[in-house]
Chains A and B, each alone.
Chain A
Amino acid sequence: MTRGATRVAYALIIGIAVLIAGLNLALPETSALHPSTFVMSLTGKYLSYAILALSVDLVWGFAGILSLGHAAFFALGGYAMGMYLMRQIGGRGVYGNAVLPDFMVFLNYKSLPWYWHGFDMGGFAILMAILVPGLIALIFGWLTFRSRVSGVYLSIITQALTYALLLAFFRNDMGFGGNNGLTDFKDMFGLKLQSDAVRAGLLVATAIILCLQLALAQFVVRSRFGKVLIAVRDTESRTRFLGYRPESYKLVVWVLSAMMAGIGGALYVPQVGIINPGEFAPGNSIEAVIWVAVGGRGTLIGPIIGAVIVNLGKTWFTAILPEYWLYALGALFVLVTIFLPNGILGLLRARRSGKAEARAVAP
Chain B
Amino acid sequence: MTEDTASLLYLDGICVSFDGFKALNNLSLLLAPGEMRAVIGPNGAGKTTMMDVITGKTRPDEGRAIFGEATDLTKLDEPSIAALGIGRKFQKPTVFEPHTVRDNLLLALASDRRARFTMFARETSEEADRIAEILTTIRLVEQSARRAGDLSHGQKQWLEIGMLIAQDPALLLVDEPVAGMTDAETEQTAELLREINRTRAVVVVEHDMDFVRALGVKVTVLHEGSVLSEGSLDHVSNDPRVIEVYLGR
Please list the residues of chain A having a beta carbon within 8 angstroms of any beta carbon in chain B. Answer: 220, 223-225, 227-228, 230-231, 234-235, 237-238, 240-245, 248-249, 252, 356, 359-363
Taking a contact as CB atoms under 8 Å apart, the answer to whether B113 and A241 are in contact is no
Assess A242 versus B118: contact at CB under 8 Å? Given A231-B107, A360-B98. no
Across-interface contacts of B87 in A (CB, < 8 A): 241
Nearest CB of A to B26, in Å: 26
- Report B82-114 CB contacts with A as 1/0, cut-off 8 Å: 110001101000101111000100111000011
CB < 8 Å neighbour of B107 from A224, A240, A248, A361: A224
Taking a contact as CB atoms under 8 Å apart, the answer to whether A244 and B98 are in contact is no
Across-interface contacts of A248 in B (CB, < 8 A): 114-115
What 5 A-B pairs come out closest when comparing CB atoms?
Answer: A243-B82, A240-B78, A225-B119, A224-B118, A225-B118
Across-interface contacts of B114 in A (CB, < 8 A): 245, 248
Taking a contact as CB atoms under 8 Å apart, the answer to whether B163 and A242 are in contact is yes
CB < 8 Å neighbour of B96 from A230, A243, A360, A362: A230
Cα(A249)–Cα(B118), bound, Å: 10
Task: Report which residue of B82, B103, B107, B108 has the largest number of chain A beta carbons within 10 angstroms of its beta carbon.
Answer: B107
Between-chain CB contacts (< 8 Å), 22 pairs? A220-B119, A223-B119, A223-B121, A224-B107, A224-B118, A227-B96, A227-B103, A227-B106, A228-B118, A230-B99, A234-B96, A235-B96, A237-B57, A237-B78, A238-B90, A241-B87, A242-B108, A243-B82, A245-B79, A356-B150, A360-B147, A361-B99
Taking a contact as CB atoms under 8 Å apart, the answer to whether A242 and B99 are in contact is no
Cα(A244)–Cα(B110), bound, Å: 11
Across-interface contacts of A230 in B (CB, < 8 A): 96, 98-99
Across-interface contacts of A244 in B (CB, < 8 A): 79, 113
Taking a contact as CB atoms under 8 Å apart, the answer to whether B115 and A240 are in contact is no
Cα(A333)–Cα(B225), bound, Å: 50
Nearest CB of A to B126, in Å: 15
CB < 8 Å neighbour of B98 from A243, A252, A361: A361
Nearest CB of B to A158, in Å: 21
Nearest CB of A to B177, in Å: 16
Give how many A-B residue pairs fall within 8 Å (CB-CB): 79
Nearest CB of A to B173, in Å: 9
B interface residues, how many (CB within 8 angstroms): 31
Taking a contact as CB atoms under 8 Å apart, the answer to whether B94 and A238 are in contact is yes
B167 interface residue per 8 A CB criterion: yes
Across-interface contacts of A235 in B (CB, < 8 A): 94, 96
Cα(A225)–Cα(B111), bound, Å: 13
Cα(A150)–Cα(B119), bound, Å: 23
Cα(A44)–Cα(B79), bound, Å: 45
Across-interface contacts of A223 in B (CB, < 8 A): 118-121
B55 interface residue per 8 A CB criterion: yes
Nearest CB of B to A187, in Å: 39
Considering the complex, give the chain A residue whose CB is closest to the CB of B78: A240
Cα(A359)–Cα(B99), bound, Å: 11
Given contacts A234-B98, A241-B55, A252-B115, 6 further A-B contacts (CB under 8 A): A223-B119, A223-B120, A224-B121, A241-B78, A360-B147, A362-B98
Cα(A324)–Cα(B249), bound, Å: 65
Assess A243 versus B83: contact at CB under 8 Å? Given A224-B121, A234-B97. yes
CB < 8 Å neighbour of A227 from B57, B99, B113, B120: B99
- Report B117-131 CB contacts with A as 1/0, cut-off 8 Å: 011110100000000
Nearest CB of B to A254, in Å: 11
Across-interface contacts of B99 in A (CB, < 8 A): 227, 230-231, 361
Across-interface contacts of B97 in A (CB, < 8 A): 234
Across-interface contacts of A362 in B (CB, < 8 A): 98
Cα(A224)–Cα(B82), bound, Å: 19
Cα(A234)–Cα(B149), bound, Å: 12
Nearest CB of A to B73, in Å: 13
Task: Report which residue of B98, B108, B150, B163 has the largest number of chain A beta carbons within 10 angstroms of its beta carbon.
Answer: B98
Nearest CB of B to A277, in Å: 34
Across-interface contacts of B107 in A (CB, < 8 A): 224, 227-228, 231, 242
Cα(A224)–Cα(B105), bound, Å: 12
Nearest CB of B to A271, in Å: 32
